Amino acid sequence: MAATPKLTKETCNGALAAIRDTLYVLSGKWKILLIVSLREGPMRFNELQRGLVDITPKVLSKELREMEMNEFVVRKVFNTVPVTVTYELTPYAATVFPIIDSLREWGVQHRERIIEHIKQDNKEAVEQ
């Protein structure tokens, strides 16, 4: 076994499997966005729904349940009247922050790049 791992078929397959796992856990249209929202602090059901404009209660509750199972969020019930429920991130959820940050960072750069392209296209169109 070499000290610097070569990119063999083995390691590539291992990488593929690991990435598949991650994508599976973060699957769905909303989980990552929910984590971003909850980074601001614990939130209630309706707050989350308002934050992610288009999500319906059914989908929201499904996503939250899955995230609970993956130990990404904890659901806390308070005996107020009416009952209050909050969702908050677990420490384990924090382990995906690097992923989320890299996604956000790339998205920002990408948008800038697109805008540059459009400017460039317009300039060329004028020059013709």
Instruction: Tell me which residues touch its own copies (CB under 8 A).
Output: 7, 12, 15-23, 25, 32-33, 36-37, 39-40, 51-52, 95-96, 98-100, 102-111
Cα separation of 60 and 15, whole Å? 31
The least distance separating its own copies from the CB of residue 47, rounded to whole angstroms, comes to 11
Residues 84-103 that bind DNA (CB under 7 A): 84-87
Regarding beta strands 43-44 and 73-78, do their DSSP bridges make them parallel or antiparallel, or are they unpaired?
A: unpaired
Least distance CB 88 / DNA (angstroms): 12
Q: In what order do the strands lie in the sheet with 73-78?
A: 43-44, 84-89, 73-78
**Does a cis peptide bond (omega within 30 degrees of 0) precede residue 82?**
yes
Residues 12-71 binding DNA (CB under 7 A) are 28-30, 44-47, 54-59, 61-62, 65
CB of 82 to its own copies, least distance (A): 26
What's the CA gap between 14 and 20, in Å, rounded?
10
How many residues bind to DNA according to rule CB under 7 A? 23
What residues contact 94, with CB distance under 8 A and at least 6 apart? none
Catalog residues that contact DNA under the rule CB under 7 A. 28-30, 44-47, 54-59, 61-62, 65, 75, 82-87
